[in-house]
Structure 1
């Protein structure tokens, strides 16, 4: 039995290694978002600064480990086998849940995931224990609900406070510095840099090192008693230092951003490490205590009162965790995906949007626009002119490829640090993830990054992320509740099966994510095209972008048309329903593509933009018409099949099925022609298309004659005629798309 539990402890530690990796991937957005978004330094330098912060923070972490020992459950009422069941279930739940969110690119709270997973597992066994004890034990004896309640309250507090102050502080900062901040920085730069550096250092002392091995009670008390003197001296010294750096022509904003990145990385590793290794260490302590003191008592009779003692984490575990976290940070592609979501929602320039629209977002934008118009109209003209000058985005100073400027990056880091430090000093459990994300959203709103053309997408994205936070809590609770029950009653077989299932899900997730990355290879091209200011380069990028997108439209069209016609001929309702859903997805995607293409055309010089832009827009229209024709084909087929009306006769299926396959081949050959940028085969393709149109015309005449003779088949006949007509349209629109693409791609 001892060997069995030793294997469980080892298994939990192995899961913890994966959990550290996915946890870093999720929380990397907290400390990398601002530095990467503003291009404060080369990517390798930013990662090195963050890696040092993580390693230092992890190596000095300790006290927060107690939450895994007695923060949620009351260990004096739980037996050893029950504690091990809860800890194993929490780890299995946590690692899979976080990986799912990372794959989706949504930042969530590792603290919420751990707390609610612990609560779910504890609640599961608390039910069992209260039933078995015949009323001797109550839920309140077994569960510490106060901690879970604190986390729930922290969600609302973090979101509201961080967003409000993000908007307010960034608005004030922009009034002071403008988008062209160079002149103002000469006068106020040293003071701003000193204040920012002091705030970040205060954050490091109060939050980052709060539970480190260096912070003894005496040190903590000394800092508390001398806080004002420390801050005053720090402000004076850093202000002087910033002025000296400015005289040396060093951009102090980059120094502030890198210092803030280090501070948040240190705080993340120091305080959130418990979310990843707290469970394994609690399991290790449980096993060690049982071996040393059980005296032959079986695991289901040995109470874990020893977990009430404070944790004393061996340094080897802290250092090892720091190394794993650093390696994960430097190698995780999913970390970059989560960062991308935050940057897409806060970038200054328009571009490809990661989210669609939603009714709530549209309503909020409409209300905000009306309110803003009312306020602006009642501002005196001179004041309005002055405000417009302060918020003139045409003067923005952006590093090449940056999402926003260094002023906003500095405000993000300083404000997040101050809010988290303030919350910590007031014993409010503010979430680092929630604060940093919502501050970034607030500052982007204040900077007018959410314009009329992008606000509805950005707000939908923010709502999606916030919804994901609540989903994390509910999913962690329910999944861990179920897994704990399975582990507790299923024993070793259940543990093996659940472990295999978790491993499969992680491997499958990684494979699927790698495929997704390959499918999104054009994203960088779209961002290049949107950010490009060179009018000569603009045409080259737009041509490459259009080839990829037109080819993709034809690839989708070939697949969708094949599925729609096959589903109709085979009377497959499921195939048609799935195809209809995919058509709607592609239509929404292509709307976004058209928007990006319009931005690309706007970057062309006047002569080229007028001539080539017309061909590009016509090509876009024909692409959309192809998808729309396939939709008009699918709709009546789906309704007809859903109602179980009479099918086509076999002779009709045979004749149309052959032509439908030829249309699919025609679409595929057209795609290859656009993809290869080869115009030599266009004459043959035009001829092939015209032949198909004529063949479909013959089928149409035959069907009209057939309907006059077979009145009982009039319902399927109407659908069949629609399918033939829209098939002709698909071929005709494809021919026109090929012609417009040729005119757009040729010449200078």
Structure 2
């Protein structure tokens, strides 16, 4: 029996390796988004600094493993087999749940997921034990609900506090430094750098190293008693150092950002390590205690009272965890995906929005707009002019490709560090993920990065991320509850099956994500189009972008039109319903494309913008008209088929079916011509399109004549006429798209 539980412990550590990888992918946003968003250094330098912080934090942490040992459950009432069921279910649930959020690109809290997984697993077995004990045990004896309640409070407290102070502090910082901060930095740079560095050092001492194995109780007591003196000395030294760096023409804001990145990475590794290896270490501790003290007792008779003791984590586990986390940081593509979500939601410039709109976001924007208009109208004109001058973005200093400037990046890191350190010293349950994300959102709002054209998208994104945090808690509790029950009652077979299922989900998730990355290669071109400021290069990028997007529109149109007409002719309700859903997806996607194209046109010089911009916008309109015409084709076909009305006659199916296939081939040929930018074949395509329109016109006249003779088929006749008319529109709009694209792509027009 000892061998069986040894295998479980080994398996827990194997899962922990994957959990460390997906955990770093999720939490990388905490310490990388500001440095990467502001381009404070090269990507390799930023990653190297973060990696050093992670390794140092992990190696010096004592693990803070008590939460996994006795923070949620009361181990003195659980037998070894029950504890192992809970711990195994927690690890299986955690690694899959975090991977799902990473794939979606949504940052979530690893602390929340672990706590609620432990709570769900404990609750499952607590139900079993209370029933079997015949009233001897109560839920309150088995579950420590205080910790779960603290985490729930942390969600509300950290979100509200971080967002509020993010708005206020960034607004004040922008009033002081403006977007063109060079002049102000000469006067206030050393003071700001000294204050920021002191804050970050305070954060490192209070939060990052509070539980370090290198910090003796005496050292911690001395720091606590002499905090003010220590911080005062740090402020003086760092201020002088920053002034020296400024004399050496070093941008002190970059120093602050990189120091803050190191501090948050160190604190993350030191404090959140329990979320990844705390559970396996608790299982290992319970197993070693059983081996040493079982005295012939079976696992279902041995109470795990030893878990009440504080953890003593061997250094080899900490160092090994640090190495795995560093490797995961450098190799995980999903970490970059999670970082991208945070950076995109806080970027200064307009661009591609990853989220749509929602009723809540639209309502909030409307209310905020009305309130801000009322406030602005009551501000004296001179004060209003001065405030607007402080937020003049025309002279903004941005590193090449940066999403926001170094002033905001510094505020993000300093404020997040200060809030987390204060929360820790006051024993308030603040979440690192929640604080860093919401500070970034608040500072971007204060910086007027959420304009009228982007606010509704940004707010929807923030709501989606916050909603994901609450979903994390519920999903972690529910899934771990179910897995624990399955493992407890299913035994060895259930353990094997659940392990295989978890492995399959991870592998399938990675394969799906890799496919998604291949489909999103267009993002680099879209980002270049938005970030480009060179007017000469703007037209080249816009032409390439338009060819790619028009090619996609024609490819989708050919596929969707084929499915709609085929579904109608064969009375396939499922085909039509699926096609309608895909049409809506493409319409939503193309709205984003039109917005990106508009940004690209705005970067053209005046002469080219007026001349070529018109052709581009007309091409966009015709692309949208094609998709909309296919939608108008699908809607009556879907309703007709859903109601099981009479189908088309065989002669109608044959005659229209042949023309429908010719239209599909016509769209595919048009797609090829646009993709290859081959204008030599356009006259032949124009001629072919006109022939198709005339053939459809003949079918229309024939159907009208037949409807007059056979009134019983009026319903199907109306749908058929609609399909013919919209088919003509599809061909006509495609011809117009080709003409506009030709004029837009020509060099000397």
* Alignment TM-score, normalising by the size of structure 2: 0.99
Q: CA deviation at 1:696?
A: 1.6
Question: What does residue 411 of structure 1 align with?
Answer: 411
Matches within 5 A, 1:628-707: 628-707=628-707
Question: What does residue 714 of structure 1 align with?
Answer: 714
Question: What does residue 22 of structure 1 align with?
Answer: 22
> Quick one: distance in 2 between partners of 1:743 and 1:72?
68
Q: Verify the 8 A CA contact 2:63 2:318 in the aligned structure 1.
A: no
> Quick one: distance in 2 between partners of 1:119 and 1:650?
64
Question: What does residue 340 of structure 1 align with?
Answer: 340
Q: CA deviation at 1:99?
A: 0.6
Tell me the secondary structure at the aligned position of residue 134 of structure 1: coil
Question: What does residue 141 of structure 1 align with?
Answer: 141
> Quick one: distance in 2 between partners of 1:192 and 1:261?
17
Q: CA deviation at 1:644?
A: 1.4
> Quick one: distance in 2 between partners of 1:301 and 1:578?
56
Question: What does residue 535 of structure 1 align with?
Answer: 535
Q: Verify the 8 A CA contact 2:166 2:443 in the aligned structure 1.
A: yes
> Quick one: distance in 2 between partners of 1:15 and 1:558?
46
> Quick one: distance in 2 between partners of 1:564 and 1:691?
22
Q: Provide Cα deviations, 1:195-231, integer angstroms capped at 9, x if missing partner.
A: 0000000000000111111122211111100000000
Q: Provide Cα deviations, 1:392-449, integer angstroms capped at 9, x if missing partner.
A: 0111100000000000000000000000000000111100000000000000000000
**More deviation in 409-418 or 645-654?**
645-654
Structure 2, gaps ≥5 residues long: none
> Quick one: distance in 1 between partners of 2:53 and 2:518?
32
Matches within 5 A, 1:366-377: 366-377=366-377
Aligned length: 748
> Quick one: distance in 2 between partners of 1:474 and 1:563?
39
Moved over 4 A (4+): none
Question: What does residue 382 of structure 2 align with?
Answer: 382
Q: Verify the 8 A CA contact 2:602 2:609 in the aligned structure 1.
A: yes
Question: What does residue 449 of structure 1 align with?
Answer: 449
Indicate yes or no: 2:25 matched with 1:3: no
> Quick one: distance in 2 between partners of 1:668 and 1:296?
76
> Quick one: distance in 2 between partners of 1:419 and 1:82?
39
> Quick one: distance in 2 between partners of 1:573 and 1:460?
33
Tell me the secondary structure at the aligned position of residue 64 of structure 1: coil
Indicate yes or no: 2:570 matched with 1:564: no
Question: What does residue 466 of structure 2 align with?
Answer: 466
Question: What does residue 733 of structure 1 align with?
Answer: 733
Question: What does residue 524 of structure 2 align with?
Answer: 524
> Quick one: distance in 1 between partners of 2:644 and 2:61?
66
Q: CA deviation at 1:702?
A: 2.0
Matches within 5 A, 1:243-262: 243-262=243-262
Question: What does residue 62 of structure 1 align with?
Answer: 62
> Quick one: distance in 1 between partners of 2:326 and 2:747?
51
Question: What does residue 507 of structure 1 align with?
Answer: 507
Tell me the secondary structure at the aligned position of residue 400 of structure 1: coil
Q: Provide Cα deviations, 1:681-727, integer angstroms capped at 9, x if missing partner.
A: 21222222222222222221222222222221111111111111111
Tell me the secondary structure at the aligned position of residue 106 of structure 2: coil
Question: What does residue 586 of structure 1 align with?
Answer: 586
Question: What does residue 555 of structure 1 align with?
Answer: 555
> Quick one: distance in 2 between partners of 1:297 and 1:572?
65
Q: Verify the 8 A CA contact 2:63 2:278 in the aligned structure 1.
A: no
Tell me the secondary structure at the aligned position of residue 680 of structure 1: helix
> Quick one: distance in 2 between partners of 1:269 and 1:132?
41
Q: CA deviation at 1:380?
A: 0.6
> Quick one: distance in 2 between partners of 1:109 and 1:70?
20
Q: CA deviation at 1:735?
A: 1.0
> Quick one: distance in 1 between partners of 2:134 and 2:13?
36
Question: What does residue 622 of structure 2 align with?
Answer: 622
Q: CA deviation at 1:574?
A: 2.0
> Quick one: distance in 2 between partners of 1:612 and 1:624?
19
Tell me the secondary structure at the aligned position of residue 229 of structure 1: helix
Q: CA deviation at 1:253?
A: 0.4
Indicate yes or no: 2:42 matched with 1:37: no
Matches within 5 A, 1:302-381: 302-381=302-381
> Quick one: distance in 2 between partners of 1:664 and 1:27?
47
**More deviation in 30-39 or 63-72?**
63-72
Matches within 5 A, 1:121-132: 121-132=121-132
Q: Provide Cα deviations, 1:76-99, integer angstroms capped at 9, x if missing partner.
A: 000101101101100111111111
Matches within 5 A, 1:276-287: 276-287=276-287
> Quick one: distance in 2 between partners of 1:657 and 1:145?
66
Q: CA deviation at 1:63?
A: 4.5
Question: What does residue 185 of structure 2 align with?
Answer: 185
> Quick one: distance in 1 between partners of 2:87 and 2:81?
10
> Quick one: distance in 2 between partners of 1:16 and 1:559?
45
**More deviation in 57-66 or 255-264?**
57-66
Question: What does residue 230 of structure 1 align with?
Answer: 230
Question: What does residue 157 of structure 1 align with?
Answer: 157
Q: CA deviation at 1:280?
A: 0.8
Q: Verify the 8 A CA contact 2:74 2:144 in the aligned structure 1.
A: yes
Tell me the secondary structure at the aligned position of residue 679 of structure 2: coil
> Quick one: distance in 2 between partners of 1:744 and 1:582?
29
